[in-house]
Structure 1
Amino acid sequence: MSAPPSTTRWTFPVTTLAAFMVSLDNLVVTTALPEIRTSLGADLADLEWTVNAYTLTFGVLLLTGATLGERFGRRRILGLGIALFTVASALAALAPNVGTLIAARAVQGVGGAMILPLTLTMLSAAVAPERRGAALGVWGAVSGLGVAFGPLIGGAVVDGWAWQWIFWINVPVGILLAPIALTRLSPARGTAQRLDLPGLGLITAGLLGIVWGLVRGNAAGWGSAEVVGSLVVGGALTALFVAWEARTAHPMLPLRLFRNRGFAASNATAMLFSFGMFGSIFLLAQFLQTVQGAGPFEAGLKMLPWTAMPMLVAPLAGPLSDRIGGRPLLVVGLLLQAAGLAWLAGTMAPDTPYSTQWPAFVISGIGMALFFVPIANVVLGSVSVADTGVASGANNAIREIGGVFGVAVLAAVFSHQGGYASAQSYSDGTSVATWVGVGVVLAGAAAAVFVPGLRRSTPEPVVPPLAREPEPVPA
């Protein structure tokens, strides 16, 4: 059953624009990092947390955001998420110091986790089955544009105004969307679900401990009580999370799904891909400015062959994926991503011309496109119809967490091998760190080999549970 026309009319523009806003903030800050470092006196660890505070809370809370929507009403949670994201954006723009900026970014991530999964759920429920594929395709393309043009938009805003405006631009959008979402979208709920609060607490504290130890390692010393304690406690809490999820009746992440080879392999591939990509972009966006003197907009423009390539390749790769299956595209895409990063790492120097760099960006961009096109279908195709919602949420969360670890680990390698002292020092550190990223992405390609191949039988089409409008839960 589709939603009434009065609500359907508003669903598409609200959900796609909200998804774009949240996706944009994944990478919009990257080209602003040198300006933030100068303006707020931030060090490398501060810059890591400026990126990771958003992606960590966003990734950890994605499944919880979807559950809140099913339990308390989708439009209510979506509207509250947009409002929270908007307020946090204003606080980030007004931040007088880097600590306040990091805290605001963490709150942004909470709001984003309430927004993104519900935009997909509500859009799926609002359109007729025969139009659903096209609608979700546009939703995916718009979300991809947010990621692709994040560095370029961030650079243009910083060059034209100031770094604070990369957050101010969210405010009028949020002020427009929040009341529409709360009053004009369908009030439908899904099946009431119990929140896994112990699991949420364990995984949040565990990942925070591990990331804290990685970020503080070079500054405090890898053998210090602070770093060792953070890593040990974080690892222990993460292990407790796994143990809890295995025994609780209402897990936020059903571990039984990982007994499926396709689900386990595709999620390992996704995590390793995000590790290498996000970690490398964090350093390379700064390299173009700190070492080679590009302005923020110029740096974003130079990275566009990498980040925007999926928009050009995806329309060709999609039909190919249907014919040959997702596994070949995943393997080839990750190999191309690794090749592009290896090219950059091997030619990195203060005087490296852009004519040497842009082919590597194109190769990496093609590889990223070949990964993004089949990954969702591979994940959902490996589980039962009843599990598609939680499987999709888990894959998105794992990708975000992979990016968190990528920034933390590659920045730690960079700090150990180089630094901001000179152009040569920055180049040396970034080169070694990018080689580590190459190794991680190659490990992702190896994991992708274990993804099941294309099944030649043509099963009857199914509609995921998220795409059906469930009966409202009685108040």
Structure 2
Amino acid sequence: MPTQRNPWFALGALVVGFFMILLDVTIVAVANPAIMTGLGADISQVIWVTSAYLLTYAVPLLITGRLGDRFGPKNIYLIGLTVFTLASLWCGLSGNIETLIAARAVQGLGAALMTPQTMAVITRTFPPDGRGAAMGMWGAVAGLATLIGPILGGVLVDGLGWEWIFIVNVPVGVIAFALAVWLVPSLPTNEHKFDLVGVVLSAVGMFLLVFGIQEGNTSDWSGKIWAMIAAGIVVLAVFVATQARGKGEPLLPLPLFRDRNFSLSNLAIASMGAAVTAVMVPLYFYLQAVHGMTPTRSALVLAPMAIITGFAAPVIGKLSGRFHPRLIPTIGFLLFAVSIFWFALVMRDPHANIAWLVVAGAVAGASNACIWAPLATTATHNLPIAQAGAGAGVYNTTRQVGSVLGSAAISALIAARMSAAGLGDAPAGEGMGGGQVPEQVRQAFSTALSQATYLPAALLLIGVVASALFIRNTSASPTAGSAAASAKEDSLAG
């Protein structure tokens, strides 16, 4: 229920923490080569720096929202912010890749505690007719973080070292904490039961599956790896079965999936999360290791993608309600797949004109604007308000799970293509953090990265099919509209 205090003050405070979470995802991608060189890591290890964060971010999301309901969203947000900030300092002080991965895992847990609380505060403090404007501000901050993250990361890596992409979070976290204590209201709490068995099963299943996929090439896809992947699938199947039979408050409310558009939206957003996470890894390696760009210059190549998304997303989000739900997201998924396929074609040539990547990035930015808000609105449009929070939580978790699997899969595929090209551990070799790979292997290196980039393009075809199967929404009601607004806010926070 909206409070009497001006909710824009609370939103302004929450935006600082939200900005930091998104910044920490995008800022790391541009620093991967420098981290590899600085810590003597190989490509599978350095991608675990991202995968560990995404994994511990995704798994707890189904329960952290209910922790906010039970103990107060402001309290859980502040705890999460504290964990995130301290873990950021730990990341910056890490002396080896194993310590950095562990610190990133703790950082992801802090982000998981924070994200649902920001959405809960916005949904409960803004009246329904004011949430659209709040979502617009939220989306603008998301676009800004996406743009600034790689550029700031490049400047910090070039000027101070990769450690500072994490240390910079410490002063920001302190400011965000002070603002939240001051401006975010304490909201009423509700009793909730917690499905601890579901938490354990989902966490174990996801870890086995992701670890097996990512480490497969390193272990030559041995029987042990396949057993681990199979075990992960079995544990996740058991998790779903327990959720179907469980009473009370299951971690995963399966009745939500009876709505066709909700189910298809979750499938589409999973493919989107996987593709977005996967495509950045080979792109930045190509720009830095093949073309010898600095982290700052490589980030600027993709800046138009974020700029166009930031400007176009609010406009397209408002227009999407005038058309059939399948139209805009289907076009968006198709354009995004085409732009990534375009990336892959350009990357085959180690001497390609970078302008072609800039143009492809601009197309990708426009396509992203057609996906995020329209897809989130469709996901929960037909759900009653009593299920809006649960639906938004499931939707956000599905996207994060897609991101985890995309990160693991691209790591395995790049390593496999490098091995097939006879490069072995070339990505970790001399030159990855401070210049180009040797001329004699540059063509093979480019080809391997190009071939790996076809994976995210293929993943987006799942989104094309899913969004093309949307049916027309039922008549909007005030509750449905509130649910849609909540979902749009939640998607932009993820």
Given the two structures, how large is their TM-score scaled by the length of structure 1? 0.93
> Residue 438 and residue 136 in structure 1: after superposition, are their counterparts in 2 closer, same or farther (change >3 A)?
closer
1:351 alignment partner in structure 2: 351
- Given candidates 440, 456, 461, the residue that maps to 1:442 is 461
Contact map agreement 1:52 1:407 (CA 8 A) in 2: yes
1:15-67 deviations in whole A, cap 9, x for unaligned? Answer: 11111111222221000000000000111111121011111111111222211
Contact map agreement 2:142 2:310 (CA 8 A) in 1: no
**Shift, 1:411, TM fit:** 2.0
Counterpart Cα distance in 2 of 1:347 and 1:127: 46
Counterpart Cα distance in 2 of 1:290 and 1:282: 12
> Residue 326 and residue 148 in structure 1: after superposition, are their counterparts in 2 closer, same or farther (change >3 A)?
farther
**Shift, 1:217, TM fit:** 0.8
Give the match's secondary structure for 2:370. Answer: helix
Over aligned residue pairs, what C-alpha RMSD do you find? 2.0
**Shift, 1:4, TM fit:** 4.0
Contact map agreement 1:80 1:178 (CA 8 A) in 2: no
- Given candidates 444, 457, 460, the residue that maps to 1:425 is 444
Contact map agreement 1:389 1:465 (CA 8 A) in 2: no
1:182-221 correspondence runs (5 A): 182=181, 184-221=183-220
Counterpart Cα distance in 1 of 2:466 and 2:127: 37
Percent identity between the aligned chains? 33
Counterpart Cα distance in 1 of 2:130 and 2:256: 30
1:319 alignment partner in structure 2: 318
Contact map agreement 1:157 1:165 (CA 8 A) in 2: yes
Counterpart Cα distance in 2 of 1:430 and 1:291: 10
> Residue 316 and residue 123 in structure 1: after superposition, are their counterparts in 2 closer, same or farther (change >3 A)?
closer
Pairing 1:63–2:62 present: yes
1:410-439 deviations in whole A, cap 9, x for unaligned? Answer: 221221112563322321221111112221
Contact map agreement 2:201 2:239 (CA 8 A) in 1: yes
1:250-295 deviations in whole A, cap 9, x for unaligned? Answer: 1111111122211111110111122122111122112110111110
**Shift, 1:465, TM fit:** 11
Counterpart Cα distance in 2 of 1:262 and 1:10: 34
1:413-468 deviations in whole A, cap 9, x for unaligned? Answer: 2211125633223212211111122211112201111122355x55446434997x
1:279-338 deviations in whole A, cap 9, x for unaligned? Answer: 111221121101111100101100112233211221331232021133111111110011
Counterpart Cα distance in 2 of 1:185 and 1:342: 44
Contact map agreement 2:380 2:484 (CA 8 A) in 1: no
Give the match's secondary structure for 1:149. Answer: helix
> What letter matches 2:121 in structure 1?
M
2:364 alignment partner in structure 1: 364
Counterpart Cα distance in 2 of 1:200 and 1:434: 33
Give the match's secondary structure for 1:191. Answer: coil
> Residue 149 and residue 380 in structure 1: after superposition, are their counterparts in 2 closer, same or farther (change >3 A)?
farther
> What letter matches 1:266 in structure 2?
S
Contact map agreement 1:84 1:107 (CA 8 A) in 2: yes
Contact map agreement 1:23 1:144 (CA 8 A) in 2: no
2:244 alignment partner in structure 1: 246
Counterpart Cα distance in 1 of 2:20 and 2:170: 10
Pairing 1:392–2:392 present: yes
Contact map agreement 1:69 1:189 (CA 8 A) in 2: no
Counterpart Cα distance in 2 of 1:75 and 1:198: 26
Contact map agreement 2:377 2:484 (CA 8 A) in 1: no
Contact map agreement 2:202 2:236 (CA 8 A) in 1: yes
1:167 alignment partner in structure 2: 166
> Residue 77 and residue 177 in structure 1: after superposition, are their counterparts in 2 closer, same or farther (change >3 A)?
same
Give the match's secondary structure for 1:219. Answer: coil
2:437 alignment partner in structure 1: none
**Shift, 1:184, TM fit:** 4.7
**Shift, 1:355, TM fit:** 1.9
Name stretches of at least 5 consecutive residues in structure 1 with no aligned partner: 468-475
1:97-149 deviations in whole A, cap 9, x for unaligned? Answer: 11111111111111111111111211232334443321232123213432343
> Residue 438 and residue 452 in structure 1: after superposition, are their counterparts in 2 closer, same or farther (change >3 A)?
same
Give the match's secondary structure for 1:326. Answer: coil
Contact map agreement 2:381 2:484 (CA 8 A) in 1: no
2:98 alignment partner in structure 1: 99
Give the match's secondary structure for 1:14. Answer: helix
1:284-299 correspondence runs (5 A): 284-299=283-298
> Residue 136 and residue 361 in structure 1: after superposition, are their counterparts in 2 closer, same or farther (change >3 A)?
closer
> What letter matches 1:449 in structure 2?
A
Q: How many residues are matched? A: 464
Pairing 1:145–2:144 present: yes
**Shift, 1:389, TM fit:** 0.8
1:385-422 deviations in whole A, cap 9, x for unaligned? Answer: 21111111111111111111112112212211125633
Counterpart Cα distance in 2 of 1:214 and 1:161: 34
Give the match's secondary structure for 1:443. Answer: helix
1:136 alignment partner in structure 2: 135
Contact map agreement 1:151 1:300 (CA 8 A) in 2: yes
Counterpart Cα distance in 2 of 1:114 and 1:189: 18
Given the two structures, how large is their TM-score scaled by the length of structure 2? 0.89
Contact map agreement 2:90 2:103 (CA 8 A) in 1: yes
**Shift, 1:10, TM fit:** 4.2
> What letter matches 1:337 in structure 2?
F
Counterpart Cα distance in 1 of 2:448 and 2:152: 27
Higher mean C-alpha deviation, range 263-272 or range 321-330: 321-330
1:235 alignment partner in structure 2: 233
> What letter matches 2:448 in structure 1?
G
Name stretches of at least 5 consecutive residues in structure 2 with no aligned partner: 427-440, 487-494
1:472 alignment partner in structure 2: none
**Shift, 1:182, TM fit:** 4.0
